[in-house]
Amino acid sequence: MNYGAIKDCDIANGVGVRISLFVSGCTHCCEDCFQPETWDFSYGDEFTDDTMDKIIGMLDKEYIDGLSILGGEPMEPENQKSVLELILRVREELPDKNIWIYSGYQFDADMLNGKLRECHSTRRILENIDVLVDGEFEKDKKNIRLKFRGSENQRIIDVKKSLNTNQVVLIPELMKMR
């Protein structure tokens, strides 16, 4: 897997102060994507053990609330192995940090029941994250007043509650307008 950027002290991509990893590779190619350069799977730098060590070091500060993984597309089958390794390491070494993933794939239609269901890492990734912002960016539904998402079709999902109830459970306070 490659990545385009790692941002420290990010407050735009989840609650609190976060470390954000922008992975490379996306097949959605949404119109007006804010980072079209990340569609290319070879964009940026190779994600290595040193990269993972760097992220763990950045996360290991009291004022950092958690990790956000965006893209590109973290849930592309080609990216899932490295994403899962990072998530499992964060869970092991920094269990109090929360983990968000942003994906153009939909939780229920694509990850639980669709094409990503067959990827061996999909379920394990979901079981080890806290929040999923799902759905492709849709230009005609763009709304700059939304918290932590770009278009009105995107959902902010409590993954643990959703897996336990086998239905999508939104986080209502985060679905409100700014």
pLDDT at 50: 98
**Cβ atoms of 78 and 47 closer than 8 Å:** no
Looking at residue 109, the DSSP 8-state letter turns out to be I
pLDDT at 118: 81
Task: Enumerate domains of the chain plus CATH numbers.
Answer: 2-175 (3.20.20.70)
pLDDT at 120: 82
C-alpha–C-alpha distance, residues 20 and 34, integer Å:
15
How confident is the prediction along the chain (178 residues), in pLDDT tens digits per residue? 999 999 999 999 999 999 999 999 999 988 888 888 999 999 999 999 999 999 999 999 999 999 999 999 999 999 999 999 999 999 999 999 999 999 999 999 999 998 888 888 999 999 999 999 999 999 999 999 999 999 999 999 999 999 999 899 999 898 887 7
Both tokens assigned to 170: 């939104």
**Residues in CB range of 100: below 8 A, 6 or more apart:** 13, 14, 18, 66, 67, 68, 69, 129, 130, 131, 132, 133
Residue 24 CB-half CA count within 13 A:
14
What burial letters (b/e) apply to 33-54, b meaning 16+ CB within 10 Å?
A: beeeebbebebbeebeeebbee
Q: Is the dihedral of CA 32, 33, 34, 39 positive or negative?
A: negative
**Cβ atoms of 101 and 80 closer than 8 Å:** no
Instruction: Note the pTM of the prediction, 2 decimals.
Output: 0.95
